[in-house]
Chain A
Amino acid sequence: MNIVVCVKRVPDTETKIKIGGDGKAIDPAGVEFVINPFDEYAIEEAIQIKEKSGEGEINILSLGSIDAQVIMRKAYAMGAEKGVHLNDDSANPDNLAVAKSLAAQLKEMSFDMVLFGKQAVDDDSASVAVQVAQLLNIPIVTRVIKMDIADGKATAERESDAGKEILEVTLPAAFAAEKGLNEPRYPKLMDIMKAKKKPLEQKEAQMDAPKMEIVEMKYPPERPPGKIVGEGVEAVPELVNLLKNEAKMI
């Protein structure tokens, strides 16, 4: 079972975001960058599948600046063997250009499965995995919370607006991991040391020109200042009154 996991370097979710001087992107100074949290579930799942089947290899694929290699090494420390870094400094905002570049690289690799995170917590788009699958013409299940592999097929459980769904796909296939799929492991010190020696291939990313542009980035719209209605149960009648007569919510 050969698995490729696509991982993205993103700001840690705890980080305070500062918008840069051009007003079109964040200022990376002082920001801590991590593996996209959803991609960690994908890496963990790949490792577990490999451990179960006892064969195959796990490849990491990441597109981004040279710093992407730092998070690739973290994925190595978790248990991946090798990987490809598609070098790109352009911070291309167009997901489709990223997906095309990833898909072109994937076509040169041999895999039974490609794993993604549900969404990257910087652009919060949840598009790239589906785009790549479409470009590769393979099936995809997104927001996977459980999966089983047997006889060249995968059974995957996902959450939907109606409840849950169980889908079956034939491999090769793509999957996008949702929280709940597993508990990502913490690498041991020894594994972190070993990760430094694992092979990492660097290539220049082939990128289409973006078909979209960020013309402005702003802080979220301020919510009008709220009011503390009061303390404890005494404040309840007034709160309900405000909800009914001021906010007209009930």
Chain B
Amino acid sequence: MANNVLIYAEQMGGKFRPTAFEAICQGKKMAQELGGKVIAVAIGSGIENPEALGQYGADKVIVVSNEKLKDFTVDAYGKAFADVAGKNDPAVVLMAATYQGKDLGGYVSAALDAPIAADCTEWLAQGGKIQVKRPTYAGKAYATIAFTGETAVISIRPKVFASDEPDASKSAEVENQDVALSDDDFRSIVKEILAKAGGKIDVSEGDIIVAGGRGMKGPENFKILEEMAELLGAAVGASRTAVDEGWREHADQVGQTGKVVSPKLYIACGISGAIQHLAGMRTSKCIVAINKDPDAAIFNIADYGIVGDLFQVVPAMTEELKKVMGS
């Protein structure tokens, strides 16, 4: 019976992303329950230091390296990943539910004829198999899912699972594999990649997010959030209203029609806490709300709140943070 855990080790520009390590750490724990091995698969070109995946728990690392795989496209990466998966008898195919991971999950599910549970926030072992829990209906209900059949594809929500510290004494066997790719696997051609302006941190990457809503009153006022964000090394997020008003880009939007984030700390400024906004940030570890309305729904899920005018509170908080963080 299949008992291995096969993990997609996501990289960008040759460097593994933190979500790859999160997936490997969970994959290792799943493999312990299943009595199988952890196989990490890195796909791309010029991938740096694949051995490092062993330090997070991979028993084996399979590298599919090919000039043509420099940029992620779902067809080519999907083909390579499904090809490796097909040869390794996985019980679980695991990845992070990032932009790449969501595409890849669907592809490999269809290619392997295996069911998929996407964006999971918890898992458990039950009768020698893995079950998962995942938010549905924009987080208004959580479903526990059991799989039948040999293989299940699982993607996990980024940043929900902490990754363990790497163990420098461990290393994994690294194997290079060639996957035959035809022209048909390069049907999507990446014409251009437009990096985020000014090296800004994306909300999906930020360990801390400072977010603003309609209460910000205009695009120019986001400056006070940017100042706090810079100090904290945080990303700046926005509610849908702030995006629809044209104050911020859609890429910054948090919520059901924006990004689903799970940072350590989420600071909501002038955001009322509509259900569709909560859908995108309710799994944050710690939530702070600054709102002048004591009855705003955001206070129901906030760990800490200040009732007040954000135009006074936010700059004062930045000053106070400067003092505390300097000491």
Residues of A within 8 A of B (CB): 11, 13-14, 16-17, 19, 26, 37-38, 93-96, 99, 121-132, 134-135, 137-143, 145, 155, 159-170, 173, 178-180, 210-221, 223-224, 226-233, 235-237, 239-244, 247, 249-250
B224: interface (CB < 8 Å): no
Given contacts A96-B109, A134-B78, contact A227 B147 (CB under 8 A): no
Number of interface residues of B (CB under 8 A): 93
Residues of B within 8 A of A (CB): 12, 17, 73-75, 78, 98-100, 102-103, 105-107, 109-111, 113-119, 131, 134-149, 152, 184, 187-196, 202, 204-205, 208, 232, 250-251, 253, 256-258, 264-265, 275-276, 282, 285-288, 294, 299-309, 312-313, 316-317, 320-321, 324-325
Q: A229 — which chain B residues lie within 8 A by C-beta?
A: 304-306
Q: A165 — which chain B residues lie within 8 A by C-beta?
A: 190, 192-194
Binding site secondary structure of chain B? mixed
Name which of B17, B116, B117, B145 has the most chain A CB atoms within 10 A of its CB: B116
Give chain B nearest CB distance to A192 CB in angstroms. Answer: 25
The answer for the CA separation of A135 and B205 in the assembled complex, in Å, is: 32
The listed residue (B193, B232, B307) touching A164 by CB distance below 8 A is B193
The answer for the CA separation of A228 and B142 in the assembled complex, in Å, is: 28
The listed residue (B78, B103, B137, B141) touching A121 by CB distance below 8 A is B137
| Contact of A17 with B309 in the complex, beta carbons under 8 Å | no
| Contact of A37 with B250 in the complex, beta carbons under 8 Å | no
| Contact of A239 with B304 in the complex, beta carbons under 8 Å | yes
| Contact of B256 with A13 in the complex, beta carbons under 8 Å | yes
| Contact of B144 with A216 in the complex, beta carbons under 8 Å | yes
The answer for the CA separation of A178 and B131 in the assembled complex, in Å, is: 30
Q: 7 closest pairs, A vs B, by CB?
A: A130-B106, A139-B187, A134-B110, A232-B308, A127-B106, A17-B140, A211-B115
Q: A221 — which chain B residues lie within 8 A by C-beta?
A: 142
| Contact of A217 with B144 in the complex, beta carbons under 8 Å | yes
Given contacts A37-B257, A126-B102, A215-B146, contact A230 B116 (CB under 8 A): no
Give chain A nearest CB distance to B231 CB in angstroms. Answer: 9
The answer for the CA separation of A218 and B117 in the assembled complex, in Å, is: 16
The answer for the CA separation of A245 and B25 in the assembled complex, in Å, is: 28
Given contacts A179-B257, A226-B304, A239-B306, contact A212 B115 (CB under 8 A): yes
Give chain B nearest CB distance to A112 CB in angstroms. Answer: 14
The answer for the CA separation of A96 and B307 in the assembled complex, in Å, is: 47
Q: A212 — which chain B residues lie within 8 A by C-beta?
A: 115, 117, 145-148, 152
The answer for the CA separation of A25 and B303 in the assembled complex, in Å, is: 30
| Contact of A95 with B305 in the complex, beta carbons under 8 Å | no
Q: A219 — which chain B residues lie within 8 A by C-beta?
A: 140-142
The answer for the CA separation of A162 and B275 in the assembled complex, in Å, is: 27
**Besides the contacts A126-B106, A166-B191, A210-B115, what 18 more A-B pairs have beta carbons closer than 8 Å?**
A17-B141, A38-B257, A93-B145, A121-B256, A131-B110, A131-B116, A140-B188, A142-B103, A160-B99, A161-B100, A165-B194, A179-B258, A211-B148, A217-B142, A220-B282, A232-B312, A236-B306, A236-B313
Give chain B nearest CB distance to A99 CB in angstroms. Answer: 7
Given contacts A230-B306, A250-B232, contact A139 B257 (CB under 8 A): no
The answer for the CA separation of A172 and B266 in the assembled complex, in Å, is: 42
